[in-house]
Amino acid sequence: MKWLNILIKYRLPLGIILLGLAIYTHTQAGFWPAFALYLIAIILVVGHFLFGPMRLIQTHMEAGDIEGSKKVVASIWFPGLLIKPVRSVYYTIKGNLAMVDQDYDGAEKLMKKSLSLGGGSLTKQSEGPNKLQLGMLSMQKGNIKEAESYIRQAIRAGLPDNENNAAAYLQLCSIMMNKREFRAAKEYFRKAKGFKPTTPQIVDQIKQIEKYIGRMPG
């Protein structure tokens, strides 16, 4: 809804303007004529600091506009004021942006910070993807044991779509191949394919593994 995005984008300056009008009306005509203006202004200003512009960030990220996402993230001056579930999503998004910039240490800290907040439906929704990201970061660092633990936790927590599930099982497949547990590797590969992912990177990874997985024993 475009109107909602516009409202979220200009919520703070609009709230400040309405607050100024409320104060002026109060001085000229008394409190009650200004009451509605006070109420709307407070809702807009408080809403900005408690809920933030998460919808705008997600819209930019879904469109692949990384720079736009970074600008909106930078507009959140006091993340500590965000309510806990929204703060968790905020740190998840910052972690994803850090990964885009290949700041893997920063991404890991942000993902762990998001997980540490716990509780709430939004936080629960981000738990699986966060742990999957942490697992992939551990893979890049060569910490296979930690990577496997995070990825299994991600699957148990629940992943939001076929692409994430396929990525998780492909990572487990790779881990099992490195451990020479070929039967398990084949099973995880079968599960990954079963999700029928369409992301080019994941599809390419499936094609690469498919070339030699059939020749594995087990």
Task: Considering the chain, tell me which residue range(s) the CATH 1.25.40.10 domain(s) occupy.
Answer: 80-160
**More confidently predicted of 5 and 17:** 17
Would you say residue 122 has pLDDT above 60?
A: no
Instruction: State the average pLDDT for the chain.
Output: 90
At residue 99 the predicted structure's pLDDT band, cuts being 50, 70 and 90, is confident
- 15-29, 30-44, 129-143: least confidently modelled range: 129-143
Three-class SS string for the chain? CHHHHHHHHCHHHHHHHHHHHHHHHHHHHCHHHHHHHHHHHHHHHHHHHHHCCHHHHHHHHHCCCHHHHHHHHHCCCCHHHCCHHHHHHHHHHHHHHHHHCCCHHHHHHHHHHHHHHCCCHHHHHHHHHHHHHHHHHHHHHCCHHHHHHHHHHHHHHCCCCHHHHHHHHHHHHHHHHHCCCHHHHHHHHHHHHHCCCCCHHHHHHHHHHHHHHCCCCC
For the domain covering 80-160, report its CATH number. 1.25.40.10
At residue 20 the predicted structure's pLDDT band, cuts being 50, 70 and 90, is very high
Tell me the pLDDT tens digit for each residue of 170-205: 999 999 999 999 999 999 999 999 999 998 889 999
**More confidently predicted of 107 and 120:** 107
pLDDT of 48: 94
Would you say residue 103 has pLDDT above 60?
A: yes
